[in-house]
Structure 1
């Protein structure tokens, strides 16, 4: 899967999760931005405008739900896909993520395939209807 040049942000307080995601995404050609928590992420998002944002739910200071809600409330960032990362896979957790504005919910531990498919779904697949419409 070629995701060359796409900026993807991974926000997680776990160094292991950040490094795993960074390796998988870099191998697919992505430019990866890393943040340890929501506060760290918000400054980097404003500077770098990633195409997709992965955010862990359970983080210190500003959790994933709060981070997602702040991203989605910003008119310049509202259309940026936000994918929640969590080891919790319950209906309540998924619903709470949707209420915060998340576009998808990925359960940890994730695989390389599931991570890359999520990026492709929200970037390549999302752009396809526009290309088809402009060519007809």
Structure 2
């Protein structure tokens, strides 16, 4: 799943992931994502930090507090690369932090690391 308020970022991530054979679910913000997570139960979630209404930190925290989804890997996406932002992401339970602009290789490496390497995928 890719959660980002930027249509360009969502589409770029969707193209990169779909080319690698991933099924991709898109969401415009945290509220949109929470309903779709319940319906689709994604294996991995990429979430932008800076979004209106429900930001990435709040969205990650809600996902990780939910008993059903707390083990789903959440990767924060941000144009900010500061230590504070990375620490705050860890504090709400994110599994990794990627800086925008990301590349196809960066996204696919995260998929390999968090989904393909997990015992549930084996």
TM-score by length of 2: 0.97
CA displacement at 1:94 relative to structure 2: 0.1
Aligned-residue CA RMSD (Å):
1.3
Q: Please, which runs of 5 or more residues in structure 1 have no aligned partner?
A: 1-8, 132-136
- Give the 5 Å matches for 1:96-107: 96-107=88-99
Q: Please, which runs of 5 or more residues in structure 2 have no aligned partner?
A: none
Within 1, Cα distance between the matches of 2:115 and 2:59?
21
- 1:38 corresponds, among 14, 30, 37, to 30
TM-score by length of 1: 0.87
Max Rg structure: 1
CA displacement at 1:126 relative to structure 2: 2.3
CA displacement at 1:127 relative to structure 2: 2.7
CA displacement at 1:105 relative to structure 2: 0.2
Within 2, Cα distance between the matches of 1:102 and 1:124?
18
Number of aligned residue pairs: give it: 122
Q: Which residue of 2 aligns with 1:5?
A: none
